[in-house]
Amino acid sequence: MCSVKSGLKMVTTTTATTTINKTVDLRSDTVTKPTESMRSEMAKAEVDDDVLGHDPTALRLEQEMAEIAGKEAAIFVPSGTMGNLISVLVHCDERGSEVILGDNSHIHVYENGGIATLGGVHPRTVKNEEDGTMGISAIEEAVRTPKGDLHHPVTKLICLENTQANCGGRCLRVEYIDKVGELAKKHGLKLHIDGARIFNASIALGVPVKRIVQAADSVSICLSKGIGAPVGSVIVGTKSFIAKARWLRKTLGGGMRQIGVICAAALMALHENLPKLEGDHKKAKFLAEGLNRIDRVRVDVAAVETNIIYIDIPEDPKFTAEDACKSLEHVGVHVIPQSKFRYVIYLHL
């Protein structure tokens, strides 16, 4: 028997001893729903026109996020994708300039090539190692600064991702980021961090966000992932960077009016849910250990540092990862099919 709940099939499964009547949605930490307290904050939010720069709740959120990240200023944007796009475009302000980024990075794999199609920015990919890093020497070899060679685009920017989602939510360490920052400085480049899950990295490493991103010129931080806000991201950086970002956000159609309504939910999410990320990480580890005990299923438990678990099913044409996903779907466990497939743990699980 099936019933429909939130667009997903709710499955009733009867085993010899018990009847399970629920879905478990492990597709992503983006599927969280606003809590009662977020909805109540939204209802009473003070608002004004944010395009004109006067929404008090947006200003409060931006100030708080700038403080958390240890940067001069911040701006709310509708999505992490727009946060990354704006950041890359501000740093690579001449068409045809180049950004060095991971071949498995979200910006490169999942953001529709927006930096190239909309910004004329050339992506130079460097291999992401299993731990989410790119080799320091590999980055340095990829740098192309002006040497009078008219064949090459000029490198302007390096992008890191922390946590690195496609590498299983791995955390980039402060020492590593500082080294990349030094390299960027040495070559006159900027450093941007896609910090969609920087709060997860901060909790897992036990290091404040501001220290992790100290070497970065800009960071895009998602509010609608682990901490569970319904909408939005924030970009942080210097005042002059954010002023340019504000201009570009308007160009891209991301200037919104009474956004205090959604910023109020984000503020509540920040205050209420940040401390809960540690619980997500513990659950992910626990689940990974359990999965690893299942025959034919392999999880690198040590690599589960935050809320993402990558599950490997050995190559077998008779039972592929896709078949496994279908079987899980059948019993009400929703995952996104990939060659390896992943479980993502979040607030409501």
Ligand X SMILES: Cc1ncc(COP(=O)(O)O)c(C=O)c1O
CB neighbour class for 48 (10 Å; exposed up to 12, middle 13-18, buried from 19): middle
What's the DSSP call for residue 312?
Answer: B
**Pick 144 or 342: Cβ nearer ligand X:** 342
| Count of Cβ atoms closer than 10 Å to residue 307 Cβ | 29
Least Å distance, CB 349 to ligand X, is 17
Provide Rg for the chain, Cα atoms. Answer: 21
Residue number with the smallest Cβ distance to ligand X: 80
CB of residue 272 vs ligand X: minimum separation in angstroms?
Answer: 20
| 57: phi then psi, degrees, rounded to nearest 5 | -75, -40
Q: Is 280 in the site for ligand X (CB under 6 A)?
A: no
Q: Which CB atom, from 112 or from 145, has the smaller least distance to ligand X?
A: 112
Q: Which residue of 71, 106, 246, 281 would you call a contact of ligand X, by CB under 6 A? A: 106
Contact code string over 233-252 relative to ligand X, x by CB under 6 A: x-------------------
Q: Does 144 bind ligand X (CB under 6 A)?
A: no
**Site for ligand X (CB under 6 A): how many residues?**
13
> How many C-beta atoms lie closer than 10 Å to residue 44's C-beta?
9
Closest CB 317 distance from ligand X, rounded Å: 31
CB 159 within 8 A of CB 194: yes
Cα(245)–Cα(237) distance, integer angstroms? 10
- Considering beta carbons, is residue 11 or 219 the nearer one to ligand X? 219
Residue 41 amino acid letter: E
Structure-block tokens of residue 267: 């503020």
Smallest separation (angstroms) from ligand X to the CB of 302? 21
**Residue indicated by tokens 């809960």:** 276
CB 311 within 8 A of CB 342: yes
Pattern 50-89, ligand X, x by CB under 6 A: -----------------------------xxx--x-----
Contacts of 84 (CB under 8 A, 6+ apart): 106, 107, 111, 115, 159, 192, 194, 220
**How far is it, in rounded angstroms, from Cα 55 to Cα 190?**
30
Query: Is there a contact between 26 and 33 (Cβ–Cβ < 8 Å)?
Result: no
Site track 8-47 with ligand X (rule: CB under 6 A), x = hit:
----------------------x-----------------
CB of 62 to ligand X, least distance (A): 17
200 touches 209 (CB < 8 A): no
- Residue 102 found at the interface with ligand X (CB under 6 A): no
Binding mask 213-232 for ligand X (x = CB under 6 A): ---------x-x--------
Closest separation between CB of residue 30 and ligand X, Å? 6
Nearer to ligand X by C-beta: 254 or 332? 254
10: how many CB neighbours lie within 10 A of its CB?
14
Please count the residues of the chain. 349
Q: How far is the CB of 330 from ligand X (least distance, A)?
A: 26
Name which position in 41, 50, 62, 194 contacts ligand X (CB under 6 A): 194
- Would you count residue 196 as binding ligand X (CB under 6 A)? yes
Contact 194, 107 (CB under 8 A): yes
Does residue 161 belong to the site contacting ligand X (CB under 6 A)? yes
Structure tokens at 122: 């050339």
Residue ranges that bind ligand X, judged by CB under 6 A: 30, 79-81, 84, 106, 161, 165, 194, 196, 222, 224, 233
